[in-house]
């Protein structure tokens, strides 16, 4: 699966395989000032069943 989402500041691309999801972030042109002080990104995973959050945790990186 491949998906691209865009806001006024960022463009994000997700490529999902069977066991792994790769995410790529890119600042849109003219948004360089938003990078000042940026230390990175964090991903939070939520498991939802019947419309309610069952489990929520922050993903670890390698």
What integer pLDDT is reported at residue 34 of this predicted model? 87
Q: Which residues contact 19 (CB under 8 A, 6 or more apart)?
A: none
Q: Give CA–CA dist 1/27, Å, rounded.
A: 22
pLDDT score recorded for residue 32: 86
Q: Per-residue pLDDT tens for 19-50? A: 988 999 999 999 888 888 988 888 899 999 99
Q: Which helix (H) or strand (E) holds 27?
A: strand 21-27
Which band of pLDDT confidence, cut at 50, 70 and 90, is reported for residue 15?
A: very high
Model pLDDT, residue 50: 94
The values of phi and psi at residue 35, to 5°, are -75, -20
Q: pTM higher than 0.85 for the full model?
A: no
């Amino acid at each position: 699966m491949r998906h691209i989402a865009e806001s006024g500041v960022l463009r994000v691309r997700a490529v999902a395989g069977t066991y792994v999801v790769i995410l790529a972030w890119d600042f849109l042109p003219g948004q360089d000032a938003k990078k000042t002080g940026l230390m990175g990104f964090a991903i939070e995973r939520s498991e939802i069943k019947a419309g309610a959050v069952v489990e929520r945790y922050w993903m670890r990186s390698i």
